[in-house]
């Protein structure tokens, strides 16, 4: 478990940690299952920003943008880089191998830039609507943690790697059904506990992670069809799309109140 946590924190956070003493498929699976835990640091920042909005210290749009900047900095913006690379690969119109080469180059083309702008705008707009109340802030944090279920979905058993080498090859297909259920169940139960304490929409503890899971599943499914499997970029893109989907679901629930 210690090696799995070190690998998870080292992969998904900018915080320096000691490298794992060993890395095998079991450790890789554990690292993916623990990915939601790595969101708690940014989640704490989001909770603080929500508090600042509710007491009138910050305007909601400003707080939303700062929240997204903080999440990007804490993850070295790797997820955003993955989103841009996947968008460029998907829009290239090239065959599988050449599309993967486009993704590997690392420079951002028009499709990647457009994907970044549009997804971030959607995230910011939904987040701004949530940070205006304590229950909304709780749903925002739940959305963030739920988005980190994307690695579990992308790396579940049966999903291949798109190419040998790299993060995708190391983690593809490592997460067994029990690990997937444990990660999802942990996020749902934690969210349910928080919402029950706040006496605010306990049913959202299932709906918001459901939106995140749907986003991750769609990205993974399309990547397998287009690229033949997943890469590290696909995992990052799935996390950003999952976050957008979860935030939209949460803001829709708040709007119905």
pLDDT per position as a tens digit, 103-145: 887 678 889 999 999 999 999 999 999 999 999 999 999 999 9
> Could you tell me which residues come within 8 angstroms of residue 156 by beta carbon, excluding any fewer than 6 positions away?
173, 175, 176, 177, 180
- What's the half-sphere exposure (Cβ side, CA atoms, 13 Å) at 185? 6
Q: Are the beta carbons of 168 and 237 closer than 8 angstroms?
A: no
Report the domain count for the chain: 1
Q: Residue-wise over 50-82: b if at least 16 C-beta within 10 A, else e? A: bebbbeeebebeebbbbbbebbbebbebbbbbb
Amino acid 168: pLDDT: 82
Mean pLDDT score across all residues of the chain = 93
The pLDDT assigned to 76 comes to 87
- pTM attached to this predicted model: 0.95
Name the 3-class secondary structure at 92. coil
Token duo for residue 187: 């996020």
> Which pLDDT does position 166 carry in this prediction?
80
Closest CA to 64 of 79, 86, 75, 49: 49
Question: Distance between CA atoms of 112 and 154, rounded to whole angstroms?
Answer: 20
Q: To the nearest whole percent, how much of the chain has pLDDT over 70?
A: 100
> How far apart are the C-alpha atoms of 209 and 191, rounded to whole Å?
9
pLDDT of res. 94: 73
Q: Give the residue among 194, 195, 191 at the shortest CA–CA distance from 210.
A: 191
3-state secondary structure of 108: coil
Range of the domain at 84: 2-255
| Cβ-based neighbours of 61, under 8 Å, separated by 6 or more | 124, 128
pLDDT tens series, the chain, 257 aa: 888 999 999 899 998 888 888 888 899 999 999 999 999 999 999 999 999 999 999 999 999 999 999 999 999 888 999 999 999 988 887 778 888 888 887 678 889 999 999 999 999 999 999 999 999 999 999 999 999 999 999 999 999 998 887 888 899 999 999 999 999 999 999 999 999 999 999 999 999 999 999 999 999 999 999 999 999 999 999 999 999 999 999 999 998 87
* pLDDT for the residue numbered 119: 97
């Amino acid at each position: 478990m210690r090696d799995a946590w070190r690998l998870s924190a080292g992969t998904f956070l900018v915080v320096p940690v000691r490298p794992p003493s060993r890395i095998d498929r079991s450790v890789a699976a554990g690292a993916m299952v623990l990915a939601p835990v790595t969101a708690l640091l940014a989640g704490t920042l989001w909770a603080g920003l929500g508090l600042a909005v509710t007491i009138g210290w910050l305007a909601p749009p400003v707080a939303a943008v700062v929240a997204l900047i903080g999440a990007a900095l804490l993850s070295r913006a790797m997820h955003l880089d993955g989103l841009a690379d996947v968008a460029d690969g998907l829009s290239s119109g090239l065959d599988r191998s050449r599309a993967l080469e486009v993704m590997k180059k690392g420079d951002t083309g028009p499709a990647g830039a457009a994907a970044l702008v549009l997804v971030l705008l959607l995230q910011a707009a939904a987040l701004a609507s949530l940070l205006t109340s304590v229950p909304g802030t709780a749903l925002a944090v739940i959305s963030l943690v739920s988005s980190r279920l994307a690695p579990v979905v992308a790396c579940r058993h049966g999903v291949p790697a798109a190419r040998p080498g790299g993060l995708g090859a190391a983690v593809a297909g490592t997460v067994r059904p029990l690990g997937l259920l444990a990660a999802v169940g942990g996020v749902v139960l934690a969210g349910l506990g928080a919402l029950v304490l706040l006496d605010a929409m306990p049913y959202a503890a299932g709906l918001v992670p459901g939106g995140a899971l749907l986003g991750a599943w769609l990205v993974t499914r399309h990547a397998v069809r287009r690229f033949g499997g997943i890469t590290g970029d696909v995992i990052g893109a799935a996390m950003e799309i999952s976050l957008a989907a979860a935030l939209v679901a949460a803001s829709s629930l708040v709007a119905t109140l």
